[in-house]
Amino acid sequence: MQASRRDVFTVACALAVDAALRAAVAPATAEPADERPREGDYLAAIDAAAPEALSPRDIAAPQVIAWPMEPATRLIRNGSRLNKVLLVRLDPATLVGATRERAADGVVAYSAICPHAGCEVSGWIEEQKILECPCHNSKYNPRDGAAIIDGPATRSLAALPLKIVDDKLVVAKPFIGRLGIAPA
């Protein structure tokens, strides 16, 4: 018996639907450089000539922006701008609540991406010791979980808990809080 066009078309459609369903439920495989910071990752300055793990004493400027770095392979997780980490060194005695627990030797870590419009939080107001996003002037208190002080941002910067291992800053846990732009 010969198959009709309708039979061939029906089988082709069924196979296409099956393939689409398999693709929809198959786990997505991210590129290693796209993966969010993982427990045990080091942090390496973005502007460094060679990727080197940062120690607390390397955070001398008001802030340093870093990428997470897988320690064994030294893979820099720079495949997503959401992986940019803002490091600030503060007097540990001035840290409030959970911020104190997430800090390592006074160094706190936050997402460097402002949740308002996705700009990089790169400003520092020395007199108040606060972070500022230069795009729309959202201001954050790094001593208190990067809580919003002023501006159009509707949520704090996501926090990245740190620890020190062999005098290096190491990711203690994944980001706490939502990364990226807040939905309107």
Q: How many domains does the chain have?
A: 1
| pTM assigned to the model | 0.82
The reply to whether 16 falls in a domain is no
Asked if residues 149 and 15 have their Cβ atoms less than 8 Å apart, the reply is no
pLDDT in tens, 73-114: 999 999 999 999 999 999 999 999 999 999 999 999 999 999
Tell me the two tokens of residue 86.
């803002």
Query: Is 11 within the bounds of a domain?
Result: no
What is the domain extent for residue 167? 32-171
Flag whether pLDDT at 165 surpasses 70.
yes
User: Residue 7 falls within a domain, yes or no?
Assistant: no
**Does residue 94 belong to any structural domain of this protein?**
yes
Q: Looking at the domain assignment, is residue 139 inside a domain? A: yes
Q: Which residue has the higher pLDDT, 148 or 49?
A: 148
The predicted structure's pLDDT at residue 28: 55
Predicted local confidence at residue 60, as pLDDT = 85
User: pLDDT for 109-162, tens place per residue?
Assistant: 999 999 999 999 999 999 999 999 999 999 999 999 999 999 999 999 999 999
Using one digit for the tens of pLDDT, what is the confidence trace for 17-29? 455 555 555 455 6
How far does CA 41 lie from the centroid of its chain? Answer: 12
Residue 20 lies in a domain: no
Do residues 170 and 164 touch, judged by C-beta distance below 8 A? yes
In a domain, 160, yes or no: yes
pLDDT of residue 38: 96
Does residue 24 form part of some domain? no
Q: What is the CATH number of the domain that holds 133?
A: 2.102.10.10
42-45/139-141 β-pairing: unpaired
Reported confidence tier of residue 11, pLDDT bands at 50, 70, 90? very low
Position 61 scores a pLDDT of 77
